[in-house]
Structure 1
Amino acid sequence: MSQQHDFAASLREWRKRKGHSQLELAGRADISQRHLSFLELGRAAPSRDMVIRLAAALEVPLRQQNALLVAAGFAPVWRQTDLAAPELAQIRHALDFILAQQEPFPAVVVDRHWNLLLANAGAVRLVEFLVGPLEPGAPVNLADALVAPGVLRPYLTNWAQVAGYFIRSVEADAASDGTTATAQLLERLLAYDGVAAALAAPPAGFASGPVLPMLFRKGDVGLQLFTTIATLGTPQDVTLQELRIESFFPMDDATARLFRDWSEASGIEAPRS
């Protein structure tokens, strides 16, 4: 009975988080509102297929779908595989291909909480230019690197705007996935000096361009970049669903030339389009 109530509470929480009424969710899941009401009250026990159907209707991430299954008394159905595992070799090849094609410009692969998993040479050159050589094998969290006072912030001239935009995206993640880990990441970012002031600052005015750039400056060198974020289209593994591929592109010719010069100086030739 306690598992039934655990599932019932989790189901109600997810429905409210997604902003659906019982009638709306029942329609999306193709069940009766009465049945959904009984499930939310713990008066009916769901089958495994019903848990998965409701989770899909609510667009619950795979990790949280497993949690809903466990709450209902079932074993998880979605695997979480290490990216280096042999069964993900073709996915890893695809990610390596994407990173290589982005040369000489930076590209990285991160997990749900912005822990760095893979980076191309362009990304390494950018970071080493700004903050110096990285310690081999040391874990890197790009969220902390962006928001914390002593890493990228001193070189990002529009840090307040970029950090504010980024933290709002983490807030959206925390509201969407409902995990303790994402909530803790958000709490950690909000605790850094200067973040509250950056979030409270009034908007700078009308946008001067189509995207918000990242404006880096170190000495006499200025870099103007914008980013894109891609995900895998049809993941059926927790690890793969949570991957993000962030690619950085120059916003002016001077930035593009500098990255090409760095690439040529390092002896790494960028792929030809």
Structure 2
Amino acid sequence: MGTQNSVSQEPAIGPFSSLLKHWRSVRRLTQVELAGDANVSARHLCFLETGRAQPSREMVQLLGTALDLPLEERNALHVAAGFVPPYGDSGLAADNLQHVRQALDFILRQQEPYPGIVIDGRWDVRIRNEASRRLFKPFHDAYDMEPEFSDNAMHTVFHPKGLRQFIVNWDEFAGQMIQILHREVAQGGGIAAQLLAEVTTYPGLPAEWRLPRHVAGSSPVMTMRLQKDDFRLAFFSTFTTFAMPTDATLQKLKIECFYPADDETAEKARALAL
């Protein structure tokens, strides 16, 4: 008499299941906690993570909101579940963002005679005003780094032959900048994680910068002090983002406006604008 071995077949864990479990782990939530936040049963959430159930578009949207994912990552979650991504991510050149580009240009013009730039999610400078070109040109012209990195704000700060060589208070300033990247990684930025991995390969970075930590500042704002020969500048800056964006491109944009940290810099900015 023959015997028959019964083999239990577990459902294969697909891209959505893996991604959902990944983000729940990143957010440090149990299945019960996430289920409560999303107002779904813990049993159904377990089935979604093991591939025993497939999500509806509404469920993907609900979980993306409960996990507080950036729009770019919510798009990825929809794609993993087999749905068209709901949030646009076509770049600033898109026709429906023309009014946004006009607003950005207006803000940068109003920033004159002080520098202003628009940075995307990878910290590439997408738009700059004329003051930015005038005041930072002596430093930018002296860069000796890969062309693809020369307009990336993070790479220029950390590359030994980028802006870093002119930042007088580099240890203090770069230490604050890398913590900004750590915070973006913690918020769910895949691009930020890649950028963090890239900049931490540069020489001369303290080992503790590889981990997120609280940095106590000695002044109310972080000042970048630059010097090339006798040309000196000191700026602090502000970041502005779009309120309630429904486009992934816009959610990643930051407008950085630089302000003089001393009278010498203010006078130099005004003189060069004449």
Aligned partner of 1:105 in structure 2 is 114
Q: 1:223-264 CA deviation, whole Å, 9 max, x = no partner?
A: 221111111112111211111111111112221111111111
Q: TM-score under structure 1 normalisation?
A: 0.86
Aligned partner of 1:267 in structure 2 is none
Q: Confirm or deny: 8 A CA contact 1:26 1:32 kept in the other structure.
A: yes
Stretch of structure 1 that moved more, 218-227 or 205-214: 205-214
Label 1:103 to 1:133 Cα distance change in 2 as closer, same or farther (>3 A): farther
| Pairing 1:40–2:49 present | yes
| Pairing 1:61–2:59 present | no
- The structure 2 residue matched to 1:152, chosen from 163, 169, 175, is 163
Q: Confirm or deny: 8 A CA contact 2:89 2:248 kept in the other structure.
A: yes
Tell me the matched-pair count.
256
Label 1:10 to 1:141 Cα distance change in 2 as closer, same or farther (>3 A): same
Stretch of structure 1 that moved more, 255-264 or 123-132: 123-132
The one-letter code matched in structure 2 to 1:240 is: L
Largest Rg, 1 or 2: 2
By how many angstroms is 1:50 displaced?
0.5
The one-letter code matched in structure 2 to 1:256 is: A
Aligned partner of 1:196 in structure 2 is 206
Distance 1:236 1:63 in 2: 10
Q: Confirm or deny: 8 A CA contact 1:110 1:117 kept in the other structure.
A: yes
Distance 1:197 1:143 in 2: 18
Aligned partner of 2:21 in structure 1 is 12
By how many angstroms is 1:178 displaced?
4.9
Q: Confirm or deny: 8 A CA contact 2:140 2:163 kept in the other structure.
A: yes
Instruction: Map residues 1-273 of structure 1 onto 2, 5 A cutoff.
Output: 2=12, 5-132=14-141, 140-179=151-190, 181-196=191-206, 199=209, 207-264=217-274
The one-letter code matched in structure 2 to 1:32 is: S
Q: TM-score under structure 2 normalisation?
A: 0.85
Distance 1:33 1:158 in 2: 51
By how many angstroms is 1:198 displaced?
8.1
Distance 2:270 2:37 in 1: 50
The one-letter code matched in structure 1 to 2:262 is: D
Q: Confirm or deny: 8 A CA contact 2:17 2:50 kept in the other structure.
A: yes
Distance 1:255 1:208 in 2: 21
Q: Confirm or deny: 8 A CA contact 2:70 2:189 kept in the other structure.
A: no
Distance 1:54 1:207 in 2: 37
Gapped runs of 5+ residues in structure 2? 1-10
Q: Confirm or deny: 8 A CA contact 2:240 2:254 kept in the other structure.
A: yes
Q: Confirm or deny: 8 A CA contact 1:162 1:212 kept in the other structure.
A: yes
SS of the residue 2:234 aligns to: strand
Gapped runs of 5+ residues in structure 1? 265-273
RMSD: 2.3
The one-letter code matched in structure 2 to 1:83 is: L
SS of the residue 1:59 aligns to: coil
Distance 2:90 2:271 in 1: 38
The one-letter code matched in structure 1 to 2:176 is: Y
By how many angstroms is 1:133 displaced?
8.4
Stretch of structure 1 that moved more, 92-101 or 190-199: 190-199
Q: Confirm or deny: 8 A CA contact 1:190 1:196 kept in the other structure.
A: no
SS of the residue 1:65 aligns to: helix
Distance 2:51 2:94 in 1: 40
